[in-house]
Chain A
Amino acid sequence: MDASLLTVQPTAPEPIYRQIVEQLRRLIAGGQLVAGEPLPSVRDVAGFHAINPMTVSRAYGIAEGEGLLERQRGKGMVVAATRKATQTASHRLALLEPQLQALARHANELELPAEPVLRRLTKLLGEER
């Protein structure tokens, strides 16, 4: 994996470390990054995007804590072989948490009751399958 695969938007309201974690979760859950694939070093990511190396370390640390990455001797961080975090439905659901919270917030702002929102969401989910 190359450092340029990650995108960083410094001006976004979301902190950069979270942007990186979010992208790693997606790339791994979606299979674009496969087990054993080495990640670019903290230095490469920080240098490429001109960001603080501590930000990258923090993101890698969180992804490691979630079981997405593991440290391998001589190789640095690699995509974890077991990928525990992506296996259970509840972990995959957690990936949607920010979008679900935003949806709930917008629905409340529009003073919509839960039922029509859920009906519409159920329909959309059915159509996508």
Chain B
Amino acid sequence: MNAVLREMESTVAPLMVSGLVHCYEGHNVLTGVDLTLEPGSVLGLIGRNGAGKSTLIRLMLGLLQPLAGETFVFGEPALQLDDATKARIAYVPQQPEALAWLTAQQMFDFIGRFYPRWDAAFAKRMLERWQIPPNKLLAKLSPGERQRVDLIRALASQPQLLVLDEPAAALDPVARRELLREVALRAGESGTTVLFSTHIVSDLERVASEIAFLHQGKLLMRCSVDETKERYARLWLPGKMSAAAPVNSLSRRRHDDGSLSLVVERDAHGQWPEAANLPGARVDALGLEDLFVEIAE
């Protein structure tokens, strides 16, 4: 029976949303978002500032009520999670959480009791590594230190679903690399499912198994990092050939000299659009950052 339960647990999507619509101060933020996270995947959520990444995360976790659409966490409606399900999730928001009247150590001692798999030794080790005074009030720590405490709290609870909203902001390059290592190894070895938003694209290229690009209220290009790099490229056409430009492209930019840059996609046979074979046309492979800039501009 336990084996059957475990089997079911391992196949139910840690996060699932469909038809998500949300407004903020009369302004459409999300206009129909569908997203399912498979167990053990690392999804990098990217988008411009104000694209609604944090709002989407809060909606997915049931911390906000959507105008329309459904959200599920481990198969349960996100707005009515029971305590056992909550203990399987760790979420680190951009803004530090409450409990500022405690020290880091007191907060860990207090919170650790609610998590059956709390790793106190890990929490202690990381406080030292990330140079956070364990006995100083959280309220007296810098915002960066507060977010690092939150990250340690999230990792020490050994969650099955780890959700990080812009975790890189508070970390120097060495600590950021350590966090990425933790995220990558936990996903690979413990099957932790991870969702993280970031504007540092190279972080995402290292550890994400999939990316989702939030742009103008919708998710664009939901696929694996490797597939994205192999499937999309920039096609440059000289001005005299711009009439031959493929109709379906993800972005289109005309330069001052009349030439045209397009983001194009391989067809089902792995071929670029026909215009790529015209004399003078150029296809450039793109890193993710260039790709996003081309599309978001």
Interface of chain A, helix or strand or loop or mixed? helix
Check if B181 sits within 8 Å of A47, measured CB to CB: yes
Distance of A39 from chain B, by nearest CB (Å): 17
Q: Is B99 an interface residue (CB 8 A)?
A: no
Min CB gap A63→B, angstroms:
16
Partner of B289, one of A11, A50, A52, A53: A11
Stretch at the interface among A66-74, A78-86, A88-96, A105-113: A105-113
Contact A54–B207 (Cβ < 8 Å): no
Q: Shortest Cβ distance from B177 into chain A, in angstroms?
A: 5
- Whole-angstrom distance between the alpha carbons of A111 and B277 in the complex? 12
Of the candidates A8, A17, A43, A50, the one whose C-beta lies within 8 Å of that of B189 is: A43
The residue in chain A whose Cβ has the minimal distance to the Cβ of B178 is: A50
Bound complex: CA A15 to CA B211 (Å): 14
Q: Assess whether A52 is in contact with B208, with CB atoms less than 8 Å apart.
A: yes
Question: Within residues 187 to 214 of chain B, which ones have a CB less than 8 A from any CB in chain A?
Answer: 187-189, 201-202, 205-209
Q: Is the CB of A111 within 8 A of B279?
A: yes
Q: Is the CB of A46 within 8 A of B279?
A: no
B280 touching A10, Cβ below 8 Å: no
Is B20 close to A, CB under 8 A?
no
If A10-B202, A108-B279 touch, whether A15 touches B229 (CB-CB below 8 Å) is yes
How far apart sit A17 and B229, CA to CA, in the bound complex (Å)? 12
A26 contact set on B, CB distance < 8 A: none
Residues of A within 8 A of B282 (CB): 109
Contacts of A49 in B (CB 8 A): 206
Q: How far is the CA of A43 from the CA of B178 in the complex (A)?
A: 14
Interface size grouping (class) on chain B: 20 to 34
Quick check: is B102 within 8 A (CB to CB) of the other chain?
A: no
Q: A51–B280 contact, CB under 8 A? A: no
Tell yes or no: A30 within 8 A of B by CB.
no
Interface size on A, residues (CB 8 A): 25
Q: Hey, which chain B residues are within 8 Å of A8, CB to CB?
A: 206
Chain B residues in 8 Å Cβ range of A18: 226
Contact between B287 and A15, CB atoms less than 8 A apart: no
Q: Is the CB of A51 within 8 A of B209?
A: no
Complex contact B188–A52 (CB within 8 A): yes
Query: Do the beta carbons of A13 and B229 come within 8 Å of each other?
Result: yes
Contact B209 A50 (CB under 8 A): no
Cβ 8 A contact of B184, one of A15, A17, A51, A111: A51
CB distance from A30 to the nearest CB of B (A): 25
- Interface centre among B178, B206, B208, B229, by most chain A C-beta atoms within 10 angstroms, is B206
CA–CA, A88 to B124, complex, Å?
56
Do B226 and A15 touch across chains, with their CB atoms under 8 A apart? Answer: yes
With A50-B177, A52-B208, A54-B188 in contact, do A17 and B287 touch (Cβ < 8 Å)?
no
Tell me if B180 is interfacial: C-beta within 8 Å of chain A.
yes
A128 at the interface (CB under 8 A from B): no
Chain A residues with CB below 8 A from B279, complex form: 108, 111
**Is A52 in contact with B209, judged by CB distance below 8 angstroms?**
yes
Distance in angstroms from B216 CB to nearest chain A CB is 25
**B30-54 at interface with A (beta carbon < 8 Å):** 42
Q: Which residues of A contact B181 (CB under 8 A)?
A: 46-47, 50
Chain A's closest residue to B182 (CB) is A50
**Residue pair B280, A111 in contact (C-beta under 8 Å):** yes
Q: Which residues of B contact A11 (CB under 8 A)?
A: 201-202, 205, 287-289
Q: Is B283 an interface residue (CB 8 A)?
A: yes
Residue B225 lies at the interface, judged by CB distance under 8 Å to chain A: yes
Task: Pick the residue among B201, B205, B284 that contacts A16 (CB under 8 A).
Answer: B205
A12 at the interface (CB under 8 A from B): yes
CB < 8 Å neighbour of A12 from B185, B230, B287: B287
Chain B contacts to A: CB under 8 angstroms: 42, 177-178, 180-181, 184-185, 187-189, 201-202, 205-209, 225-226, 229-230, 279-289
Pull 18 A–B residue pairs with CB atoms less than 8 Å apart, ordered by A: A10-B202, A11-B288, A11-B289, A12-B287, A13-B229, A13-B285, A15-B225, A15-B230, A17-B226, A18-B226, A43-B185, A43-B189, A47-B185, A50-B207, A53-B185, A105-B283, A111-B279, A111-B280
